[in-house]
Amino acid sequence: MRSICFSPPLPGPALRALTALLSLLGPLAEISRGEREAVGHLQGEMAGEVTASTVILQTRLTKTQVNHAGDLLGSSGITRFQWANNDRFENAQHTPWRHAHAEQDWIVKTKISGLEANTTYFYRIEFGPDQKQAKRGETREFQTLCSPDTIARHHFVVVTGMNYAFFHHGDGKKRPAYSGKDKHLGYPALKSILDLRPDFFVGTGDNVYYDHPQSGRAQTAQAMRKKWHQQFIQPRFVNLFGSLATYWEKDDHDFRLNDSDNSGDYLPDRDLGIAIFREQVPIVEPNDRTATTYRTHRAGKLLQLWFTENRDYRSDNKLPDNAKKTIWGDKQKKWLQRSLLASDATFKILISPTPMIGPDGASKIDNHCNFNGFRHERDTFFAWASKHNLLNRGLYLICGDRHWQYHSIDPSGMEEFSCGALIDANSRLGIKPGIAKSTDPEGRVRQPYTSRNPSGGFLSVVIEPNPKQAVATLRFEFYDEHRKLLHSVEKRRAYTNTPTE
């Protein structure tokens, strides 16, 4: 026989308290539901690592406003990508619905294959707390690369040094914060880049600064992620990245801290620095944890690009410079040499997060220019490139890291173009050849151009084919942040005519 229990009646005060609590549950449930439905994507979307047939699309589900700590928190929800080769989204395709998770900072990214070469694609997200409440995001676009036998025009921009703290707050010393009325939109150079309508954008590293401001530098995953949120929520980033493809490298400031290597018992540690970078930008296959961040992409008959990884495999900076000391590591170095030799592209451009020619300051030990840094590896590579006649086969270097723009020519004949810092507040005058406290005290480096005034800006690279003459022109164009052309360098090479797609 089942027993039945009766609860004694609640005393008056307890009953009133329970009644009041129950009366709150309805409104609280509505508030909770409202918060759950307030899903945004305030950082916009990015198309990364575009090839002739693939792309990595990325978005982040967010709250609809920045919190009191100045961070844009993520939001749970679902999303999928829709894409087509027309802005009406006729015959559009969809990725499966994906949930955003806190473990990935609410970022959802998907690699799409089977795309047509040299084609403009339009994409957008559908997102919300669930499928029934999903809505569409804004239309974005990117262009796929050309197939290897296609002769076509190419245009891309290269940047470094996107220092959010210096732009918005100054450095407390010589660098004042930006004071224009458009400050809330973000860096002026981004509008200048968008106005030029390049095919793609290359961030060479120092995309964020974990160690600026120095007081309270980012050491945890949460603090490091906040740096990326602050950067990418700026409207000019959203507008720019919604209109083109992106390629990414990292350097010291978006790895650990200034001049960081893999050594040192401090935060953030090496593994966290690597993981956060791979998480925050569309650079590697999302489901492939073994994918390397050094890679090469062929863009038609006239162009091939190499992106090196200069932090993950490097020796300790403080070791003596010799044949064993390396930035690239043995595996990457062999890949680089093998792929360069295999390329028949008219122009071969190696984009390095750090300089190889400079000149640089004599006291540094962080890069390939430095006396006590990694100069042996640099000299060996230049000698190898000369031996295989790569300097006469269209090989050029572009570097980030340096806060000034320059065009330098090594005694070996190798040429390097520095894109300079993106913003005025992060720029400085350069170190010229022949300066005593430099990496070129004897003035052996020739420098046809260097910035005359501290100036933010970017490097624009254009390749123009002339089918009648079967000659292609490569232009390196230095711009300031307001799109003023400061200097231009032209290189010309013949190519073998083949039918254009």
Give the tens place of pLDDT for each residue, 14-29: 434 433 333 333 433 3
- For the sheet with 154-159, list strands across it: 107-112, 55-60, 45-48, 245-248, 200-203, 154-159, 457-466, 471-480, 485-494
Least confident of 35-49, 176-190, 449-463: 35-49
Is there a single domain that holds both residue 384 and residue 444? yes
Q: Rounded CA gap, 211 and 218, in Å?
A: 6
pLDDT in tens, 238-269: 999 999 999 999 999 999 999 999 999 999 99
pLDDT mean across residues, the chain = 92
Is there a single domain that holds both residue 128 and residue 159? no
Is there a single domain that holds both residue 209 and residue 103? no
Is there a single domain that holds both residue 100 and residue 229? no
Q: What is the pLDDT of residue 423?
A: 97
Q: What is the CATH number of the domain that holds 68?
A: 2.60.40.380
Task: Classify residue 426 by its DSSP letter.
Answer: G
- The pLDDT confidence band at residue 211, using thresholds 50, 70 and 90, is very high
Is there a single domain that holds both residue 305 and residue 256? yes
Q: What is the mean pLDDT of residues 455-469?
A: 97
Structurally, the chain folds into a number of domains equal to: 2
Residue 32, in any domain of the structure: no
Is there a single domain that holds both residue 105 and residue 190? no
Task: Classify residue 86 by its DSSP letter.
Answer: S
- The pLDDT confidence band at residue 363, using thresholds 50, 70 and 90, is very high
Q: What percent of the chain has pLDDT over 90?
A: 88
Residue 56, in any domain of the structure: yes
Residue 297, in any domain of the structure: yes
- The pLDDT confidence band at residue 496, using thresholds 50, 70 and 90, is confident
Report the amino acid identity of residue 456. G
Q: What is the pLDDT of residue 498?
A: 58
The Cβ of residue 448 has, within 10 Å, a number of other Cβ atoms equal to: 11
- The pLDDT confidence band at residue 391, using thresholds 50, 70 and 90, is very high
pLDDT reading at 385 higher than 50: yes
Is there a single domain that holds both residue 235 and residue 112? no
pLDDT reading at 147 higher than 80: yes
Q: What is the mean pLDDT of residues 116-131?
A: 98
Q: What is the pLDDT of residue 404?
A: 98
pLDDT reading at 215 higher than 90: no
Q: What is the pLDDT of residue 71?
A: 97
Q: Rounded CA gap, 325 and 336, in Å?
A: 17
Is there a single domain that holds both residue 165 and residue 67? no
pLDDT reading at 8 higher than 90: no
Q: What is the pLDDT of residue 30?
A: 35
Task: Quote the pTM value.
Answer: 0.92
Is there a single domain that holds both residue 158 and residue 132? no
Residue 8, in any domain of the structure: no
The token pair that represents 336 in the structure block = 């680089």
Q: Rounded CA gap, 169 and 178, in Å?
A: 8
Q: Rounded CA gap, 421 and 160, in Å?
A: 5
Q: What is the pLDDT of residue 37?
A: 56
Q: Rounded CA gap, 280 and 221, in Å?
A: 11
Residue 485, in any domain of the structure: yes
Instruction: Look at residues 121, 143, 165 and tell me which one is the last residue of a structural domain.
Output: 143
Q: What is the mean pLDDT of residues 69-90?
A: 98
